[in-house]
Amino acid sequence: MTVLVYLLPVALFLGFAGLVAFLWALKSGQYDDMDGAGERILIEQEPTNKSEIK
Amino acid sequence: MSCCAPGAEAIVEPDTLSQDELRHAARSLGDGIAQIDLSVPAVHCGACIHAVEQGLSKVDGVVSARVNLSTKRVSIRFLEDRSPPLVETLKRLGYPPHLFDDADLGKERTLTELLRALAVSGFAAGNVMLLSVSVWSGAEGSTRDLFHWISALIALPALVFAGGVFYRSAWSALRHGRMNMDVPIAIGVTLAYAMSLYETFHHADQAYFDASVSLLFFLLIGRTLDLVMRDKARSAVLGLARLAPRGAVVIAPDGSREYRPVGEIEPGARLLAAAGERICVDARVIGGTSDLDCSLVNGESWPRRVEPGSLVQAGTLNLTGPLTLEATARAEDSFLAEMLRMMEAAEGGRTRYRRIADRVSSLYAPVVHLTAFLTFLCWMAIDGNWHKAITIAIAVLIITCPCALGLAVPIVQVVAARRLFERGVMVRDGSAMERLAEIDTVVFDKTGTLTVGRPRLANVIDIAPGMLAIAAGLGAHSRHPLSQAIAQAGSGRAGVPDFEAITETPGFGIEGLAGGSVWRLGRAEWALGRDGDPQVSGRSGTILARDGRECAQFQFEDALRPGAMQAVRALQQAGKSVEMLSGDTEKTCRDVAESLGIPRYEAALLPSGKVTRIAEMAQSGHKALMVGDGLNDAPALGAAHVSMAPATAADIGRNAADFVFLHDSLEAVPFVIAISRQAGKLVRQNIGLAIVYNVIAVPIAILGHATPLIAAIAMSGSSLLVIGNALRLLGLQRTNSHDDIVSPATALSVTAEQA
């Protein structure tokens, strides 16, 4: 059962990291426009400078 | 993309939004940059986002523009001193913008709070459940104790953070001496945690940490979905064009003109109302003549002519000529504000209604708590082991904790609201659907509800085609609704001469020169040039005259709203009595009532008259659905058991109504009733399922066989069952959605029979 000593913290840490990531996304406004986010990936960005290759 | 086709959505034509209003609504961010949020209901897809953002960012003075597709808003940052032509640009792009009220923006914070609580409880539920599975599959001794302690540690913040939502609600209910579903939830969750902690201390083999957090998690899912749905409907209604003006141009004593918000306009102030603007306070005309559209205010279908000395009411639309006005009342003493007060006074019927969930929980909670207490007493009597007795009593509380019951009602309402949302109907209040299922009478307003509120040429066949073409050519130059109706009826016909020197005389008509003759289209006495002739001035209708000789006479009727006939018939077939209440004249009301087959109608009613009629119905035991759009309907909308308004309705009517339908067709009314009935049926089924679950699970718990494993399976199982049953509403409707569109009558009568 010694394997639990590091397995448990690792499992909990991963879960906790997921939670923090979600809370961060929520706070930074990524859940403000759920419909728009999906559509935006289809919008072609105008190249910001000439050196950019299509 | 088809979704972006013009006219795909609603029929609302927003009034023009002036630069002045825009500047007032924008807020400064410092550094000479200001930000404004505008509602753009026409935005539908990715291409729309791109068009709006690209179009705006090319405008000189715009710093950035970002579209939010969910709320259909665009927030623009621009340089304050430039005041770029935002409105014109958006209109040119095909996305007419308008301002919206952001008074209750605070509600959006609740959603973030709920999502955060959901995340925390989800994390806790997942991890605690994993540890519990290890315990159930045979962890023993110190390993089991370790797992229990970690579970306790994870569950505590979840309980505080996610459970706070329920604790607050339960506490406020108890403080007011009421019972709601959150009381047994709060008690059950807390006791489960406390007992598990005690057991963990004493190295016992059973702990209910997983039950308490997964319960919170499930219930929060239901609540979040409910809030998301209501937020969506709310922001859609908020995004509709505001019809009440926010201010007016005030003429100072020294002749200078300045835009002032409504609240700052004092009686005696001189105001300017341009053609196409709404009048913002009660006032007297002191200069200019024009025609006023009063349909939204008092239900009259035809425009009224005003001249110096006439009194005008707040909310009327100035159609043809500019007017100079003298304010006679402050905004808060105006007609609009009076309607608002009457509406608040009339809203008694609404607050008396208790939601099904509350009625059930007021019975459920005492029964459950009494059962748990009796279980404790019985076990004490049987073997006197108080530890065992308490453990079993708490197990009863946990297993009866109303997980399924807490989801039974909201989940159905979420699914039903989504169905309605897809068909352009916004539900503003969850209990509205429950109330709608109870109604036996449907009361319609006439102008703007049963009819479109726009005139249509009635006697096209009597008019010589050549004359119609000439009248249409002339009428196209005026924004008077009657001229517009003639122009529409005669559009596309050949033989329109080229008019020169077109002049409009507000309140009388329009005049033009063609082929050496003077053509006039307008009131009889003016068109024929015989002012003050009693024979002529009494004539109604509009006349086309050539050099003072009559060429054609036009009669108008108010066009019926599409689907009005079908809607009335469907309602009558479903056994509802249909009635019409209007502020318009007896004759026009009779015509509309007869053509739609409405047996009962009352004409020339004041706003208070409508409220009285609805109160009479309530007293004689009838429950009425009121469908109306005007300012004068707002008090009646508030008084009725449940209410509905079209998107074209006046602001306060829209805000008072439980349902708002965005599409033209009146068939939304029977459709909403049908969905509400089905939703009501599913709610009752769900509550039944939850009770059956309890009938099976409670004896097991009372006998002391409810292990944490059984509790977890039973609770998740019953929740899934309830959710699955609610989703049937989606499938049910999808399969016969074709029938719905062809004939809501069949859908409604079918559900009426089932009920």
Residue B13 confidence (pLDDT): 45
Would the CB atoms of A15 and B150 count as touching at under 8 Å?
no
Contact of A16 with chain B, judged by CB distance below 8 Å, is answered with yes
Average pLDDT for B609-617? 86
Question: Among A34, A4, A31, which Cα is nearest to B111's?
Answer: A31
Residues of chain B whose C-beta is under 8 A from some C-beta in A? 45-46, 49-50, 54, 67-71, 112, 115-116, 119-120, 123, 126-127, 130, 143, 146, 150, 154
pLDDT tens-digit series, residues B421-444:
888 888 877 788 888 888 889 999
Average pLDDT for B374-384? 89
Contact of A21 with chain B, judged by CB distance below 8 Å, is answered with no
Q: Residue B650 has what DSSP assignment? A: -
Asked whether the ipTM of the predicted complex exceeds the cut of 0.95, the reply is no
Q: Which residues of A are less than 8 Å from B119 in CB distance?
A: 19, 22-23, 26
Query: Half-sphere exposure of residue B695, counting CA atoms within 13 Å on the CB side?
Result: 6
Rounded to the nearest angstrom, the minimum Cα separation between A53 and chain B is: 21
**What b/e sequence results for B342-370 when a residue is b if at least 16 CB atoms lie within 10 Å of its CB, and e otherwise?**
bbeebeebbeeeebbbbebbbebbeebbe
Rounded to the nearest angstrom, the minimum Cα separation between B140 and chain A is: 11
Beta bridge partner(s), residue B456? B557
Confidence of residue B495 (pLDDT cuts 50, 70, 90): low
Residue B169 confidence (pLDDT): 85
Is the pLDDT assigned to residue B710 strictly greater than 80? yes
Of B68, B120, B143, the CB nearest to A19: B120
Residue B736 confidence (pLDDT): 46
Average pLDDT for B176-202? 86
Question: Among B468, B542, B550, which Cα is nearest to B510's?
Answer: B542
Residue A19 confidence (pLDDT): 92
User: Contact at 8 Å (CB) between B121 and B217?
Assistant: yes
Burial status of residue B261 (CB atoms within 10 A of its CB: 0-12, 13-18, 19 or more): middle
Residue B733 confidence (pLDDT): 52
Contact of A3 with chain B, judged by CB distance below 8 Å, is answered with no
Average pLDDT for B697-711? 84
User: Contact at 8 Å (CB) between A36 and B74?
Assistant: no
**Residue of B49, B56, B220 for testing the chain A interface, max A β-carbons within 10 Å:** B49
Contact of A22 with chain B, judged by CB distance below 8 Å, is answered with yes
Of A19, A33, A46, the CB nearest to B123: A19
Confidence of residue B732 (pLDDT cuts 50, 70, 90): low
Question: Among B257, B282, B276, which Cα is nearest to B322's?
Answer: B276
Beta bridge partner(s), residue B62? B78
Is the pLDDT assigned to residue B49 strictly greater than 60? yes
Q: Which residues of A are less than 8 Å from B67 in CB distance?
A: 36
Would the CB atoms of A26 and B123 count as touching at under 8 Å?
no
Query: Half-sphere exposure of residue A4, counting CA atoms within 13 Å on the CB side?
Result: 10
Confidence of residue B81 (pLDDT cuts 50, 70, 90): confident
Determine what percent of chain B is predicted with pLDDT higher than 70. 89
Would the CB atoms of B115 and A34 count as touching at under 8 Å?
no
In which element (H, E) is residue B157 found? helix B141-161
Q: Which residues of B are less than 8 Å from A35 in CB distance?
A: 69-70
pLDDT tens-digit series, residues B126-174:
999 988 888 888 878 888 888 899 999 999 989 998 888 889 888 988 8
In which element (H, E) is residue B263 found? none
Q: Which residues of A are less than 8 Å from B116 in CB distance?
A: 23, 26
3-state secondary structure B120-152: HHHHHHHHHHHHHHHHHCCCCHHHHHHHHHHHH
Determine what percent of chain B is predicted with pLDDT higher than 90. 5
Concatenated DSSP letters of B403-414: HHHHHHHHHHHH
Q: Which residues of A are less than 8 Å from B71 in CB distance?
A: 33
**Residue of A5, A12, A14 for testing the chain B interface, max B β-carbons within 10 Å:** A12
Rounded to the nearest angstrom, the minimum Cα separation between B122 and chain A is: 9
User: Contact at 8 Å (CB) between B554 and B483?
Assistant: no
Is the pLDDT assigned to residue B524 strictly greater than 70? yes
Residue B748 confidence (pLDDT): 43
Crossing angle, helix B164-175 and helix B107-136, to 10 degrees?
Answer: 110
Would the CB atoms of B70 and A32 count as touching at under 8 Å?
yes
Would the CB atoms of A19 and B45 count as touching at under 8 Å?
no
Q: Which residues of B are less than 8 Å from A11 in CB distance?
A: 127, 130
- Which residue stretches of chain A have pLDDT < 50? 50-54
Would the CB atoms of A39 and B45 count as touching at under 8 Å?
yes
Rounded to the nearest angstrom, the minimum Cα separation between A3 and chain B is: 12
Is the pLDDT assigned to residue B27 strictly greater than 50? yes
Residue B755 confidence (pLDDT): 36
Our answer to whether residue B445 is catalytic in this structure is yes
Q: Could you tell me how many helices (H) and strands (E) chain B has, helices first? A: 28, 27
Among the listed residues B37, B145, B226, B445, the single catalytic one is B445
Q: Out of B301-315, B541-555, B560-574, B651-665, give the one with best mean pLDDT.
A: B560-574
Q: Which residues of B are less than 8 Å from A17 in CB distance?
A: none
Distance CA B375, CA B393 (A): 6
Q: What angle do CA B310, B315, B319 make, to 5 degrees?
A: 65
User: Contact at 8 Å (CB) between B427 and B456?
Assistant: no
Residue B747 confidence (pLDDT): 41
Crossing angle, helix B744-754 and helix B668-702, to 10 degrees?
Answer: 30
Q: For tokens 């034509």, what's the residue?
A: B13
Of B49, B127, B143, the CB nearest to A15: B127
Q: Which residues of B are less than 8 Å from A4 in CB distance?
A: 143, 146
Between chain A and chain B, the number of residue pairs with CB atoms below 8 A apart is 51
Is the pLDDT assigned to residue B208 strictly greater than 50? yes
Would the CB atoms of B119 and A40 count as touching at under 8 Å?
no
Residue B106 confidence (pLDDT): 52
**Structure-model confidence comparison of residues B321 and B121, the more confident one:** B121
Would the CB atoms of A1 and B49 count as touching at under 8 Å?
no
Is the pLDDT assigned to residue B745 strictly greater than 50? no
Average pLDDT for B111-124? 89
Is the pLDDT assigned to residue B553 strictly greater than 80? yes
Confidence of residue B93 (pLDDT cuts 50, 70, 90): confident
Q: Which residues of A are less than 8 Å from B126 in CB distance?
A: 15
Residue B491: count other Cβ atoms within 10 Å of its Cβ: 14
Beta bridge partner(s), residue B642? B625
Would the CB atoms of B143 and A43 count as touching at under 8 Å?
no
pLDDT tens-digit series, residues B447-471:
888 888 777 887 877 788 788 888 8
Would the CB atoms of B123 and A15 count as touching at under 8 Å?
yes
**Residue of B56, B113, B116, B129 for testing the chain A interface, max A β-carbons within 10 Å:** B116
> Looking at chain B, which residue has its C-alpha nearest residue A37?
B69
Is the pLDDT assigned to residue B209 strictly greater than 80? yes
User: Contact at 8 Å (CB) between B477 and B502?
Assistant: yes
Distance CA B308, CA B289 (A): 7
Is the pLDDT assigned to residue B105 strictly greater than 60? no
Would the CB atoms of A11 and B130 count as touching at under 8 Å?
yes
> Looking at chain B, which residue has its C-alpha nearest residue A16?
B123
Q: Which residues of B are less than 8 Å from A45 in CB distance?
A: none
pLDDT tens-digit series, residues B470-479:
888 888 888 7
